[in-house]
């Protein structure tokens, strides 16, 4: 349960003044993720998300590797619900 | 015989395995402390690629598995209150307490909900001001920031009907407990990459120096794990004991400093019991200062719960690397994922569940 899942930031919501949130696509499954701890995150970037928050950024190639490795471990239920 | 399923960079993996065999001159026992790594090792048979002299033992890398029975009992007690909505991650619902699990409590009418994030529980509390929303907070340093953010948010917004029942734990004190045991077999560690994404590598320096063990920050893909093993063995063969970051693609040496600052403002380290390991100093994350009012135990005035004796589950022996899951007399017979005696058989990242899933019908693989 400690594995973070990479997703692509589709859109950042400007309305929440307390903390930045974004719509993030995890292989097509879209979830709302807090970007409070990754201020460097931008639309189009890949965020490593865990339990609803971004904890780090990775590049597109690494995001692809991690996502595929998680799929092989059946460890994507966190985002696929 | 080849047990390995398909994964990225298989040819490269075999090359690394050959290099490990080439440089190994004596036996070494390495421990990983990440349920994701354990799962990958067992599923892809990483251990079967290694020379006989290298043994991988599976440490307490699954936070669900190390949550003590008495914390589950507290969650059950709170969940049964009519005003309470108890939320947690899905894995927690089937972990057995002294009398049943949260799934059974839900079936009996308790309002128990699986949510994706502690932030979802804060939103739920906002939506139901007449109820008490409790998040059963389980996880390592990777998961702790989400809980810290939820408490911070509830505090900022004045959401007084939200609290967390915390069973959050820190990995380095557990590694120290294992290293400090007179029965310790571990000579080198693979540290968990995604834990270090938050905390960085610095926390491990004192451990490597004090106990003279190499600690290699490692990812969870098969190639990463083999690379972590290679670097660990290289250090052991050279008589070195350093912290090495083998997962720089994801882990910065300093970690995520924003997350660290948030954790420090919301939590403080304190003693915590680990299932199978007992009490470990400084291993728990407890709410601090003004945030203690979001502590479920304090909110409900819950009395302290005495430690509960384990059933015949040998989780402690497994989590310290003294025994492998299949060496437990109950493995696969009286203890299965459907009817678990202990937590390592419940979670998908538990060592027992991984052995059951991938190796039950192929015992030859266990002797690798």
Structural domains present in chain A: 5-80 (2.30.30.140)
Tokens of A9: 């930031």
Inter-chain CB proximity B89 and A51 less than 8 Å = yes
Report the pLDDT value the prediction gives residue B355, as an integer from 0 to 100.
92
- CB spacing of B197 vs A53 below 8 angstroms: no
Distance separating alpha carbons of residues B341 and B219, to the nearest angstrom: 30
Average pLDDT taken over every residue of chain A: 90
pLDDT along chain B (368 residues), means of 10: 61 94 98 93 93 95 89 95 96 86 95 96 98 97 97 96 97 96 95 95 97 97 96 98 96 97 98 90 97 97 77 85 91 89 82 87 53
- The pLDDT, as a whole number, for residue B1 is 33
**Distance of residue B290 Cα from the nearest chain A Cα, in angstroms:** 19
Does domain B66-169+255-299 correspond to CATH entry 3.40.720.10? no
For residue B361, the model assigns a pLDDT of: 59
Residues of chain A with Cβ-Cβ distance to B90 below 8 Å are 77
Q: How far apart are CA A77 and CA A80, in angstroms?
A: 5
Q: How far off is chain A from B43, nearest CA to CA, in Å?
A: 8
Q: Can you list the positions of beta strands (E) in chain A? A: 5-13, 21-26, 29-34, 46-50, 53-58
Q: What is the per-residue pLDDT for B3?
A: 43
Spell out which residues of chain B touch residue A50, defining contact as CB-CB under 8 Å.
142-143, 146, 194
Q: Which pLDDT score, from 0 to 100, does residue B4 have?
A: 46
Test mutation, B13, B151, B259, B262, chain A, max A CBs within 10 A: B259
Q: Do residues A41 and A57 lie in contact, with contact meaning Cβ atoms separated by under 8 Å? A: yes
Whether the ipTM is more than 0.90: the answer is: yes
Q: Does A51 touch chain B (CB under 8 A)?
A: yes
pLDDT at B342: 82
Please indicate whether, in this complex, the C-beta atoms of A68 and B8 are within 8 angstroms of each other. yes
In this complex, is the C-beta atom of A34 within 8 Å of any C-beta atom belonging to chain B? yes
Above pLDDT 90, what percent of chain A?
A: 74
């Amino acid at each position: 349960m400690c594995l973070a899942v990479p997703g692509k930031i589709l859109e950042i919501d400007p309305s929440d003044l307390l903390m930045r949130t974004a719509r993030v696509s995890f292989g097509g499954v879209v979830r709302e993720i807090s970007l409070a701890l990754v201020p460097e995150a931008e639309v189009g970037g890949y965020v490593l998300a865990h339990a609803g928050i971004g904890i780090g950024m990775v590049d597109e190639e690494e995001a692809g590797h991690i996502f595929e490795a998680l799929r092989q471990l059946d460890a994507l239920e966190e985002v696929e619900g | 015989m080849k047990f390995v399923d398909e994964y990225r960079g298989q040819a490269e993996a075999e090359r690394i395995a050959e290099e490990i065999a080439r440089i190994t001159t004596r036996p070494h026992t390495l421990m990983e402390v990440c349920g994701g790594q354990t799962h990958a090792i067992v599923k892809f048979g990483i251990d079967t690629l290694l020379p006989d002299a290298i043994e991988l033992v599976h440490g307490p890398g699954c936070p669900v598995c190390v949550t003590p029975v008495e914390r589950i009992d507290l969650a059950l007690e709170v969940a049964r209150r009519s005003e309470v909505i108890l939320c947690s991650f899905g894995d927690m619902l089937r972990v057995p307490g002294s009398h049943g699990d949260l799934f059974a409590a839900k079936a009996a009418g308790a309002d128990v909900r699986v949510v994706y994030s502690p932030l979802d529980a804060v939103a739920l509390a906002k939506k139901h001001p007449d109820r008490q929303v409790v998040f059963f907070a389980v996880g390592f340093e990777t998961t702790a920031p989400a809980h810290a953010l939820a408490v911070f948010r509830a505090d900022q917004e004045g959401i007084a009907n939200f609290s967390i029942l915390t069973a959050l734990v820190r990995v380095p004190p557990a590694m120290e407990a294992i290293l400090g045991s007179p029965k310790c077999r571990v000579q080198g560690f693979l540290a968990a990459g995604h834990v270090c994404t938050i905390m960085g590598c610095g926390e491990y320096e004192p451990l490597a120096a004090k106990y003279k063990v190499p600690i290699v920050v490692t990812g969870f893909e098969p190639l990463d794990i083999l690379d972590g093993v290679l670097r660990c063995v290289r250090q052991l063969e050279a008589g070195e004991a350093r912290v090495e970051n083998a997962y720089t693609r994801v882990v910065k040496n300093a970690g995520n400093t924003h997350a660290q600052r948030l954790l420090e403002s919301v939590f403080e380290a304190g003693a915590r019991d680990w299932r199978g390991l007992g009490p470990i100093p400084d291993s728990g994350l407890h709410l601090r200062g003004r945030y203690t009012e979001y502590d479920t135990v304090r909110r409900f005035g819950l009395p302290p719960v005495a430690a509960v004796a384990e059933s015949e589950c040998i989780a402690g022996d497994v989590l310290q690397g003294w025994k492998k899951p299949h060496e437990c007399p109950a493995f696969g017979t009286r203890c299965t994922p459907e009817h678990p005696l202990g937590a390592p058989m419940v979670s998908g990242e538990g060592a027992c569940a991984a052995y059951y899933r991938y190796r039950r019908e192929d015992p030859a693989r266990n002797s690798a």
